[in-house]
Amino acid sequence: GEDVEQSLFLSVREGDSSVINCTYTDSSSTYLYWYKQEPGAGLQLLTYIFSNMDMKQDQRLTVLLNKKDKHLSLRIADTQTGDSAIYFCAVYSGYSTLTFGKGTMLLVSP
């Protein structure tokens, strides 16, 4: 089945850019999503990209997709302390199923 890998931890300074990376195994994946989870909360959909796109920009968020390498990244510009959270990459695996990575904990220090 589909496998999604993410680095576990990223630490940045406020005002810097953050880049969170994700790799997946199923090249036929059509939709790829980024979710944010704050402590004690559910998942917040940040953005998503269709597999025929290379890039998608949404305010401070930029998603890059390299289909050849099956690599997805989320760039957060001008990172703020409020961006500290766990970020999940999710891949649509067919039959209404999302396969999630283990999540990347982003810590933003002042």
Partner 1 sequence: KAGVTQTPRYLIKTRGQQVTLSCSPISGHRSVSWYQQTPGQGLQFLFEYFSETQRNKGNFPGRFSGRQFSNSRSEMNVSTLELGDSALYLCASSQGQTYGYTFGSGTRLTVV
Can you tell me which of 15, 17, 19, 45 binds partner 1, judged by CB under 8 A?
45
- State how far the Cα of 38 lies from the Cα of 34, in Å rounded to an integer: 14
Choose the stretch contacting partner 1; rule: CB under 8 A; options: 13-21, 45-53, 56-64, 66-74. 45-53
Is residue 102 close enough to count as binding partner 1 by CB under 8 A?
Answer: yes
The phi and psi torsions of 84 (rounded to 5 degrees) equal -60, 125
85-92 and 104-109 strand pairing = antiparallel
Is residue 101 close enough to count as binding partner 1 by CB under 8 A?
Answer: yes
- State how far the Cα of 16 lies from the Cα of 12, in Å rounded to an integer: 7
Is residue 8 close enough to count as binding partner 1 by CB under 8 A?
Answer: no
- State how far the Cα of 66 lies from the Cα of 110, in Å rounded to an integer: 32
Is residue 104 close enough to count as binding partner 1 by CB under 8 A?
Answer: no
Is residue 87 close enough to count as binding partner 1 by CB under 8 A?
Answer: no
Residues within the interface to partner 1 (CB under 8 A): 30-31, 33, 35, 41-45, 48, 50, 88, 90, 92, 95-103
